[in-house]
Amino acid sequence: MPDTPEKNELTHLIDERALARRVEELAREIAAKSQGVDELVVIGLLKGAFVFMADLVRALSRCGVRQRLGFIHARSYGSGTISSGEVRLGRDLDLDVTGRTVLLLDDIQDTGHTLSVATRYLEQAGAARVMTAVLLDKPSRRELPIQPDHVGFEVPDRFVVGYGIDYGESYRYLPYIAMLADDA
């Protein structure tokens, strides 16, 4: 019987305190670049960005940034550890972004396909400006020349889990970032 995701060994990569500190720093950076924006539209890519988004929008609020929140469901991994390269957006945006400044959040920038497709979708929906922020960046895997505006941490070319990021729908609950010891 093959190992289930929960039986994989984990190696800690980024602890809770480091995550909290960096999210606060990102909020200050984003707030500075959002000056003059009446209300920032923050769009999280589900499912992986939900924990990052929850912490970041509270930090942005502490910086005085008014926000409206929404989500887009994006998929490119399925149950494996390698992006398929094919991004499917599975949920239409339920906010009008026409003429608005949008902050698009993703858990991890890997190949660049997801951020590229989602950014294009928001621009086609009429966003005046799309800023991007990712919790983790894995530049060694980039296939498209897209660089997020804000990056939490650069990580090695290993499969990571925790803080909303999953492997086969497991590990999202971890309050830290870990690497699968054997890359499953």
Tell me if residue 20 falls in helix, strand or coil. Answer: helix
Residue 140 DSSP label: G
Token pair of 25, please? 């720093």
Catalytic positions, please? Answer: 110
d(CA 115, CA 43): 12
d(CA 180, CA 184): 6
Residue 90: Cβ-neighbour burial (10 angstroms; 0-12, 13-18, 19+): exposed
